[in-house]
Amino acid sequence: MGRNRTAWAATTALMVATLGVAAVPAEATTTAATAQATACPVGWGSQAKTRSAGTTDSMTNIRTGRHACFDRMVVDVPGAGTRELGYSVQYVSRLYQDGSGRQIAVGGGAVIEVRVTAPAYDPDTGKPTYPARAGQRLVGVDLTGYRTFRDARFVGSFEGDTQIGLGVRARLPFRVWVADGRVVVDVAHNWTGAR
């Protein structure tokens, strides 16, 4: 009888331990999934964002990248310090080139006009520092597989400002920030912050 009681007690203890261990990962997985689903930043909004500054350093490159919560565009202005870089970024119903007034078509459900206060040419010689033509897709930028970005066009560079048209899936929240030598535009994948 003692042996049966010991076996029964051991079996019961093993079942309780197994159920307890099985319950922990399921709960931990749910908590981790919830935390991961809400890990994206929120509160960026979709209103115009501007920063007054200017540089004579020239813009030389535009690149993009995909991230878990947003798609990113970076405008490189080597040599420009953080204080020297200005921008104006906003949603527009139509995009017009400075100087000529020519309308530039940009694909997507919504269009963001990105203006960086740096020329895409050498101010001393007028020679282009970024090899693009007005209305053409950005050089070296392939948006295949992006969740938010749909199209990116060079609009022009006029009187020290460079214009870029960024087509996105829909009007979504975005942020703009600067670091030495670059202006960064992040456009969220959605409004909720879910991944």
DSSP codes of every residue in 31-97: HHHHHHHT-S-----SS-EEE----SSPP-EEEEEE-SSEEEEEEE-TT--GGG--EEEEEESS-B-
Average pLDDT across the chain, whole number: 85
The pLDDT value given to residue 25 = 44
**pLDDT tens-digit series, residues 14-25:** 444 444 444 444
**pLDDT tens-digit series, residues 72-122:** 999 999 999 989 999 999 999 999 998 889 999 999 999 999 999 999 999
pTM: predicted TM-score of the whole model, two decimal places: 0.79
The pLDDT value given to residue 38 = 55
Evaluate whether 189 touches 172 at the Cβ level (below 8 Å): yes
